[in-house]
Amino acid sequence: MNLRLANTDDEKKIASLIAQFRTDLKQLKGIKSTPNIEQAKEEFKEYIQAKYPIFVAEENNKELLGYLVCRIDNGTVWAESLFVSYNARRNGIASKLYEKAEEIAKELGGSTVYNWVHPNNDKVIPFLSKKGYNVLNLIEIRKPWENEVLTQKITVGKYEYNY
């Protein structure tokens, strides 16, 4: 397996991973959808235009196994999205990709990578916990969307929120 920066030639291969990532995120909120390759291609183009570092894990046969997009704002590194294809999981690929984000943070004089995480994302929360990420920094609070059905309650400190 090879880790490298993505380039514009990766658009078709990475779009299928981005589309699956977006579908998975919607499922966390109980929204069923199908992968939208065209929308994923546009998202990839936006990342490239914004000059976000995009790392890909590539198999020897050039198949892309996963990707990580880093957003850098004023020297702060955010893991914008991290995804590994289903058949390649549990092989350390996500860890190797994530290490690239941590390397960028260190190069910029920082000590951490920031992450937006869905509260019920039971895959990435334990992943980040194993890496020592356990400080809750921000909470996004909003009104429910029209016709939104909230099925869970989450407690943070002494406050309870609908989710």
Domain ranges of the chain: 2-138
List residues bridging with 114 in a β-sheet.
78
* In the predicted structure, residue 45 carries a pLDDT above the cut 90: yes
- Which CATH number describes the domain made up of 2-138? 3.40.630.30
Element holding 87 (H helix, E strand): none
Phi and psi at residue 57, to the nearest 5°: -100, 125
Q: What is the DSSP letter of 81?
A: E
Rg (CA), the chain: 17
Residue with tokens 């990532």: 21
SS3 54: strand
Query: Out of 62-76, 97-111, 134-148, which region has the weakest mean confidence (pLDDT)?
Result: 134-148
Report, as an integer, the average pLDDT of 33-49: 95
Per-residue pLDDT tens over the stretch 110-144: 989 999 888 888 899 999 999 999 888 878 888 88
Give the pLDDT band of residue 148 (cuts 50, 70, 90).
confident
